[in-house]
Amino acid sequence: MKKQNLSRRNFMKAGLGIVAGSSVFAGQSFGEKYNKGVTLNPGMGHGGHQTMPHQTRKASAFKDDEMNPMKFLSAYDYGKVTQLPDGQVQREYDIVAHEKEIEVAPGVKYPAWTYNGFVPGPTIRCTEGDKLKINFLNASHMPHTIHLHGIHPAEMDGVFEIIPTGGRFTYEFTVDPFGLFLYHCHVMPVKKHIEKGLYGTFIVDPKTPRPPAKELVMVMNGFDTDFDGENEFYTVNGYANYFSDNPINIKVGELVRIYLVNMTEFDLLNSFHLHGNMFRLYRTGTDPKQYEYTDTVMLCQGERCIIEFSYKYPGMYMFHAHQSEFAELGWMGFFNVLPEVA
């Protein structure tokens, strides 16, 4: 509705004022910061070998020993591994749901519901055929569950066994098939339990591993910080503009594989667009032979995909939602492509 769009746009201006003020380009508008970073920096583009001095940018809101969106990219939880008598590998995880106030943009706090204290929750990673054992404790004031995507028995689906405050439940099943999945709370109203932050990524590797690559988990989400049923901020891994303030370093020719998950609520779609490149798009990662070749992918709520690419030329390249409004509200980042090391 027009009225809502107007109010969100006004909020956006206020929000971006805070964002711009937090960076080394303090005092400039977001647009000036953006243009300065991309076009005025000497040595940018494929002709030069200098890169943006992002190391000098302001430290993030996260303490060094804390999880942050950058660490989260490659924070895989392989669980506690034991070999069962029949040879099957068991991976055991402890997941605790609890409330936590988090920061989602500079100075913007959000009363989140979390799995293990961060939004998104831990990236569960295992191999097809493993036995998964998830010990769930609900330490929050609301009832919750963990509903995993993939193939498993009905009683392990995290839908009917609602876990009350203080309650425990163990989800246990053999993992099938390989691919990229997700998990989230499935207590009604599910929309509320998801948008508050109860979701995460579930990677099941094939027994024959995918080719070696720099692997990154990116969870697209939104935060309704004024509780009006719309998102005021859009992020990757929980913090608006994090990867625009802290570009991700990759190298020319390096294979990059992104496990991309859309957990955005309220908006039907989110998307990922890559600059200066094309990528292989594997829809759910369940078939390594089937892919599309594109530079933009649109994902519905709860949809995910694996994308693979490598860069031909060094320089700074944007990636962002192709819904321009989402990009302006925090869903934008950079790959800092460094020259290939001889």
* Residues forming the site for Cu ion (CB under 5 A): 144, 185, 187, 193, 198
State both tokens at 290: 């089937």
252/341 Cα distance (integer angstroms): 9
User: Smallest distance from the beta carbon of 157 to Cu ion, in angstroms?
Assistant: 14
Please tell me the chain's helix, strand, coil percentages from 3-state DSSP, rounded to the nearest 5: 15, 40, 45
User: Smallest distance from the beta carbon of 162 to Cu ion, in angstroms?
Assistant: 9
State which H helix or E strand residue 21 sits in. helix 2-22
Report the residue number, 113 or 242, with the smaller CB distance to Cu ion: 113
User: Smallest distance from the beta carbon of 139 to Cu ion, in angstroms?
Assistant: 12
User: Smallest distance from the beta carbon of 141 to Cu ion, in angstroms?
Assistant: 11
> What type of residue is 262?
N
State which H helix or E strand residue 287 sits in. none
Report the residue number, 199 or 243, with the smaller CB distance to Cu ion: 199
Report the residue number, 166 or 253, with the smaller CB distance to Cu ion: 166
Cα dihedral across residues 317, 240, 77, 123: positive or negative: negative
Report the residue number, 117 or 177, with the smaller CB distance to Cu ion: 117
Report the residue number, 93 or 326, with the smaller CB distance to Cu ion: 93
196/194 Cα distance (integer angstroms): 5
User: Smallest distance from the beta carbon of 235 to Cu ion, in angstroms?
Assistant: 20
User: Smallest distance from the beta carbon of 239 to Cu ion, in angstroms?
Assistant: 22
Residue with structure tokens 């004024």?
226
How far apart, in Å, are the Cα atoms of 335 and each of 54, 68, 266?
11, 17, 28
Report the residue number, 197 or 333, with the smaller CB distance to Cu ion: 197
Q: Give CA 239 to chain center in angstroms.
A: 10
